[in-house]
Amino acid sequence: MIEPTSPVLLQAHDVTIGYQGRNVVNRLSIGIERGRFTALLGPNGCGKSTLLRALAGLLAPKSGAISLEGQPIAQLSRKQLARRLSFLPQIPRAPDDITVRDLVEQGRYPHRRPLAPWSAADRAACTEALELTHMVALAERPLAALSGGQRQRAWLAMTLAQSADILLLDEPTTYLDMAHQLELLALLRRLVDERGKTILAVLHDINQAGQFADKLALLSDGAITSIGPPADVITTETIRTVFHVDGMVLVNPMAPCPLFLPRTALASIDAADDDTMRS
Amino acid sequence: MPNPDALPPRRRGNRRALGLVLLIALVPPMALWNLTVGSSQIAPDVWFEALMHPDGSREHIVLLDVRLPRMLAGLLVGAQLAVAGAIMQAVTANPLASPGLLGINAGAAFAVVLALAFTSIDASGSLVWFAFGGAGVAALCVYALGSIGRGGATPLKLALAGAVLTAFLTSATTSLLLLNQGTLDNLRLWAAGSLTGRSLSTVAELAPYGLAGLACALVAARPIMTLSLGGDLASTVGQNVVRWRLLAGLLVVVLAGSAVALAGPVGFVGLVVPHAARLLVGADYRWIMGYSAPLGALLVLLADTGIRWLAGIDLPVGITMALIGSPVFIALARRRSGMMR
């Protein structure tokens, strides 16, 4: 694999993020390295989505700073930011009757000037996004006529059409069956390896994350508990602390990263569950 | 119905453009029909005479001073309210949003009547600013009322807030009209939404606001389409959502406010027309707005002419529109009740 560290592209420095008096993320710092696939994992309600929204500039931190190549993102306009960074929310919504192509074309918004016609670059970016996500044949279908997995791919195509270097994806595998999950993760891997994209994705399956991502970051109660290459992060100790799950770490016969085999949930899961009742 | 989305993009675009041209081509015959139907039927050829060589005959005076401004008012009001409704439905992601239902028309009407009752202002060019003010304040009130409580401004809460404000403002307007019977007698027809009694100079004074509003809507169609994706997604693709929502709101205030100043609070145009346009072109608000302008003009002229032609009575267009619009509104509310919550 490539060198162990790469320059930090997107950085959160000592950020506290929250909604109305309640802090979800506490004085957290994380650096997202350029050209790497970083997976963000953690139990429900630990602040993953909140952190991602803040990194995408949709939620201003109460304190601390988020910067893109050293420049605070608060100083960038939405358009400037959108050219560099794209974000796919967990449950994106759009009018049901919008077609896949119309949706994907919306991804070109930050690249278009007022009244300027649709350019060759716009067309090329949309075509490529549709091809990468295997959505060409479905491009003229309305979103409502698609299965959950196809819809998720349509959203990803819109995100890709934005041609940003950084992709922030909130649970992109959620609605997909196993085959489509693997296909999507392989696509993300390819985007990193072949296009030099930088990806931060919230994932649920730690073994999938270990197989496809360069780095794992575990988030628990709004703080990073562990970050590093999969082999360093996937240990019985870290998983017990973060997920309250007991199990074993095995040697993965198919990949160079360890494999976690869960045995049982620990008693303290109730406490963790209470935490998710918020919102 | 054949699914327009099943066509390849080039052909779909062509079909939409052809449909738009057809709709626009229907407007002049409809306008001519509106001009000929009335208490005295006037043949179309007299029309050309009146326009080219007005001779001061009774027929020519009726045509130029009564029917021409009425037709032009219908054209403008229809297009303006329909486009205002389309913008509101895009921005609020609310199928029931329209200047009539969300209290904006009622706010503009109330402000105009207030100005007429308590000030000496009576020039349309000044009254229209009261209409803008009333429309703007009403829009802010409905948004603030609808945003109280959990979940922010949901479609249902906005519609309820709009209904409450409309009821309140309409009765306030009626009270003012009743209390100032003498001076405001001729306003009662206007307050029901009517195209009659407008002079050509009134139309000429108010038309620039409406036409400017329509032109701006055309220019802003693309960002408005992006707004229709919802705040989160629009921000993600790089839109300054706060700025564009404000601008869209301003556009609605100008379009609906000047329409009300011209013809009173005509309801249902802004609700029904964007839905009809959506049935024809799908979810793309650029096309919905484009289709809404000629469709709105056609609908208002049809309502105004049709009732005279069918029943031989001259009903205010606001009432005819309510007769047409109420059943459509009920159908929409029933069909969409699933997504109202």
Q: Tell me what pLDDT residue B8 has.
A: 57
Residue % of chain A over a pLDDT of 90: 63
Q: Which two tokens stand for residue A139?
A: 């491009």
CB contact under 8 A, B238 and A82: yes
CB contact B319 to A (< 8 Å): no
Strand A8-19 and strand A22-33: the pairing is antiparallel
**How confident is the model over A138-145, as a mean pLDDT?**
91
**pLDDT tier at B7, thresholds 50, 70, 90:** low
Q: Tell me what pLDDT residue B270 has.
A: 94
pTM for the whole structure: 0.86
Sign of torsion, CA A19 A25 A31 A35?
negative
- A15: phi then psi, degrees, rounded to nearest 5: -90, 140
Q: Tell me what pLDDT residue B48 has.
A: 77
CB contact under 8 A, A93 and B5: no
Q: Tell me what pLDDT residue B336 has.
A: 58
**B243-261 exposure pattern, b = at least 16 Cβ within 10 A, e = fewer:** ebbebbbebbbbbbbbbbb
Q: Is the separation of the CB atoms in B110 and B104 below 8 Å?
A: no
Closest CB to B229: pick one of A94, A115, A162.
Answer: A94
Alpha carbon of residue B147 to chain centroid: 25
Sign of torsion, CA B258 B124 B142 B271?
negative
Query: CB-based contacts of A48: which residues, under 8 Å, 6+ apart?
Result: A40, A41, A42, A170, A202, A219
Q: Is the separation of the CB atoms in B106 and B259 below 8 Å?
A: no
Per residue in A224-237, pLDDT (tens digit) is 999 999 999 999 99
Residue A152 predicted with pLDDT over 60? yes
d(CA A132, CA B127): 57
Q: Is the separation of the CB atoms in B112 and B127 below 8 Å?
A: yes
- Which residue of chain A is at minimal alpha-carbon distance from B285? A98
CB contact A83 to B (< 8 Å): yes
Closest CB to A79: pick one of B222, B229, B238.
Answer: B238
**pLDDT tier at A55, thresholds 50, 70, 90:** very high
Q: Which two tokens stand for residue B37?
A: 């139907």
